[in-house]
Structure 1
């Protein structure tokens, strides 16, 4: 075996090579022995660790079994006590329910007796009311017959008076009509006479004017004839040709004269008609002027009346419009208010129905408790009324002085008397006060149960902390640890204070083993 390397240029020596080999062999042997010792120590330590883990697991299981036995014993004792308490409570509830049933039975019998008495009283009152109604109907029938006879006699008398008055008025009207006819006939005769006189005057005047015109025309014609004659002779003397023309002109003149006469007659007729129509126009102008003045006055009056009526109508329309708008607003407001009241009433009825379902038998039989202060208040009120009567002062309050008017809401007591305005809500306030007291009692009971529940949750948390294994629980005191046969469940949980000095350090291997043990137990 070659352990070393011969250096170059040197002679090998046997003694030096053997010493190096033995030294190296010794070193290797020492290292092997040390390694074997280390492995043996590690194996022993590992076996001890496994033994320690098995012992700790067995001890933890023993501790848990002991804890469970203790908790079972405590739990059994607690359950027995609770069962005894529950049995006692159940017996008390049964006794209370029996007492309530007996009380309700008595109340039911009393209610049946009261109902029978009320029914008999109601039937008696109904008989009295029927008799009273029959007597009232007989009296009304007799009164109706007497009033009917009186009305018939009055009607006949008034009819006779009206007939006589009508005949008298008809005679008076006939006399008035005859007098008016006579007067109108006289007026018509006078008007005709005046018309004839005017006609004769106009005719005479026209005839005179016609005669004057005729005389003037005759003189003019004669003058013209003389002129024509002279001119004719002169013409005949001057020329023969003009004679022929003169003859033709004379013939033409004759024709024109005839035509002139016709025109004159026509003018006379036209003048007479013109005069007639002028007079007619003057008369019509006078009549129409007066009529127009009357119509103008009537028109002015009608226009003023129209303007007045228009202003009044506009004012009336504006007032009616404002009233209509106000009425609409009030109607909408009233409608909304009534709707709110209906909603509130429906909500009250629904709540009352829900509350009635939740009422007890005692509340259903006697919904309103008897106030202990009501009698004293009534006595004080009666004393005050008596004192006021003695002093002569008018009393404003009192159940007997309450006036009940139709179409107004009113309240009546159980005795059949009207209730005052300020006492309408007495029963409601009784119910409300009772519910309020029950609500306060429930709140108190709820607070008490919450506190008890919190205590029980705290105890349960301590119990679970005692049976569980984790870092947070191990750092605190175990609540299930028995000291002098006492458990620390009801004690507050211990809080470990951190100290800076004398701190205890735990090996990492032990912490890892504890965590593994906890996970295995949880599984």
Structure 2
């Protein structure tokens, strides 16, 4: 008797250890889920803080960059205005040169007209000279010739001095134009270099100012960043404390629920054990019945397969024979495959009526089942008759040939 009591007590201790193990596993899973949730919350909070800092930094940088862009755009507009003024000056100079060229062209036209007038006057004078030459005396002719020579020399000197003067003016104008052009090019290059140096200096100055402002901003916000991080850590600690308190309360409530559920599970387990035992007995009986049915079905299926294989072989043989018959059919048989029946119409009608009536005897029923083979037997009988007729004909021909040979021998 005491031994039995000891065994029962050992079973209870084992059950209690199993309950504790289940509680431990559930608590462990719950704690892992809580840790994962905390990690997710911290990550989301950290990402939000980083995004906020990035937004603030981008806002300040965009404002500074906008100011820099406005300054650079103003400088660029000044350079553009200066370039526009240079282009306008070049256009005015080119228009002035065009006007000078136009004046030179007008002057050349005037000179051409003067030359034409001079030639006309010269022709008139030559004509007058020729007329006077024949009319005047030698002294007068000599005076006129000398005067003409003096005037021609004077005119040649005037032409030479004018050409020299205009060539000098042209060379001076060309030299002035070339010098002014070179001076403008040099001035333009110097202006470009000065503007480039100014822009580089402004950009370097703005870059230094930007670096200084950024360093100042980082230094000024360093303490605030540290304070925000410390406050965030404090908030996390406070939230974790609240969460731990909630977890402790939930653990105590779960322990009470687990105790109640453990009692319910013990009672349900005993009931399930009885039901399982009953179901096992029923399942064993069902398995034996099913095994018998399976063996019976396997035997029947093997027999059926054998019969079907025999029927299949017969069908294949019939198909081969039918194919051979179709190959050996003559043209006449294809047109008229069956011989005409020797029965009268009344007997044929009677036979058809008997075929329509349902048979009662077993042999008649079998004949009724094999009615579709009637045409086959007709074809078979026809070929058999043809074969016999061919044999008779061959024998008759053989006898006739023998008879002819005998008659020939007798005649000889």
Query: TM above 0.5, one fold?
Result: no
TM-score scaled to structure 2, two decimals? 0.30
* Larger helix share, 1 or 2: 2
**Larger RCO: Structure 1 or Structure 2 (Cα < 8 Å, ≥ 6 residues apart)?**
2
Larger Rg: 1
TM-score scaled to structure 1, two decimals? 0.24
